[in-house]
A and B are shown apart, each in its own frame.
Chain A
Amino acid sequence: MAGRAVAITTVSYVDDEPSAFASMLGGLIEANVEGRPEKKKDFDALQARVGIWVTDIDEGVTLDFQRGSLTVHNGLQPKRDLTIRAEADTVMNLSNLRIGAFGMPVYYNEVGRAVALKLVQGKLRIDGLLGNLATLNTVTRIFSVR
């Protein structure tokens, strides 16, 4: 096997037929983690159950991060640490947040301001934020393509 590249599968799906959204998020995170060592480090450290619900298509997923592996469920499953509820455009914007100093998401550029505005308008809701701010920042870093 010497010299042969080995694919590392870090993402698995619970459902026999993962939804398009589940496949997209799982695929996005897998590509991010496999292509970026700094995201792999976050991925390997993260233990959290995160729900994402897209309000304008009525679809969601639960991402179960277990220190180096991710299990993706269709829909919102119980016992989530964090749940993000937003419209499709905002979910895409979340994955376009730049990561700045100290690994903090940047909220002062165009994309960041749009995300912050949705938060203020109540169109981006994050349940479970209290006590889980560091988890949210880690998830954002893993999720971000920037």
Chain B
Amino acid sequence: MAVSAFSDEWATQFKDEVNKSSAYRAAAKGWKWTVGLVIEAEPDKNVPESIGIVMDLFEGDARDIHVGSAAEAQQCNFVITAPYSRWKEVATKKLDATKGMLQGRLKLKGDLPTIVRYTKASQELTEATTRVAVEWPDER
């Protein structure tokens, strides 16, 4: 059953998908930093306020993923920021996250060598998001 994008239910299912992924677990061995996703508001797409996704990822395990404020997500060790519609493109596989970062369509803040070292882990995280059935706010 589809859940509302970037809702508490979505965060729970996303966390479950991450923890079910053996590929992510292997690729993220050694990762011990928090990651914040900032989904910038697009009122015309039914996203009136920016949303933060806060991920506590440790050694291939998602210890916690929750929805918070954009300000909370910005406090994480690594922060990826993009408008809502761009995140939707990533989650629906219309935009590859690596290409998005190289093109500046997804803005990254954090230690670059570390994020490059874990490119495969970030790709597996993206894969996990695509496995959550989602109802998008602009399609309601």
Chain A residues close to B by CB (< 8 Å): 19-21, 23-24, 27-28, 31-32, 35, 54, 56-57, 59, 88-89, 91-93, 95-96, 145-146
Contact across chains for B119 and A92 when beta carbons are under 8 A apart: yes
11 further interface pairs, Cβ-Cβ under 8 Å (given A28-B112, A96-B116, A145-B117): A19-B104, A20-B101, A20-B105, A21-B104, A28-B116, A54-B102, A59-B103, A88-B99, A92-B119, A96-B117, A96-B119
Contact across chains for B104 and A20 when beta carbons are under 8 A apart: yes
Complex formed: what's the CA distance from A95 to B96 in Å?
A: 18
How big is chain B's contact interface, by range?
A: 10 to 19
B113 touches which of A21, A31, A59 (Cβ 8 Å): A31
Given contacts A24-B112, A27-B112, A31-B111, contact A56 B99 (CB under 8 A): yes
Q: In this assembly, does B34 line the interface, its C-beta being within 8 Å of a C-beta of chain A?
A: no
Nearest-neighbour CB distance to chain B for A101, whole angstroms, equals: 21
Complex formed: what's the CA distance from A132 to B102 in Å?
A: 27
How many pairs, one residue from A and one from B, have CB atoms within 8 Å of each other in the complex?
Answer: 49
Q: 18 pairs across A/B with beta carbons < 8 Å?
A: A19-B104, A20-B105, A21-B102, A23-B104, A24-B101, A24-B108, A28-B112, A28-B113, A31-B111, A35-B113, A54-B102, A56-B99, A59-B103, A88-B99, A88-B102, A89-B98, A91-B102, A145-B113
Chain B residues close to A by CB (< 8 Å): 96, 98-99, 101-105, 108, 111-114, 116-117, 119
Q: Which 4 A-B pairs have the closest CB atoms?
A: A20-B104, A145-B113, A28-B112, A92-B119
Closest residue of A by beta carbon distance from B117: A145
Given the complex, which residues of A lie within 8 Å of B96, measured CB to CB?
88
The secondary structure that dominates the A interface is: helix
Nearest-neighbour CB distance to chain A for B12, whole angstroms, equals: 30
Given contacts A20-B103, A57-B103, A59-B103, contact A95 B116 (CB under 8 A): yes
Complex formed: what's the CA distance from A141 to B111 in Å?
A: 18
Given the complex, which residues of A lie within 8 Å of B114, measured CB to CB?
145
Closest residue of B by beta carbon distance from A35: B113
Given the complex, which residues of B lie within 8 Å of A92, measured CB to CB?
98, 116, 119
Nearest-neighbour CB distance to chain B for A109, whole angstroms, equals: 13
Given the complex, which residues of A lie within 8 Å of B112, measured CB to CB?
24, 27-28, 31
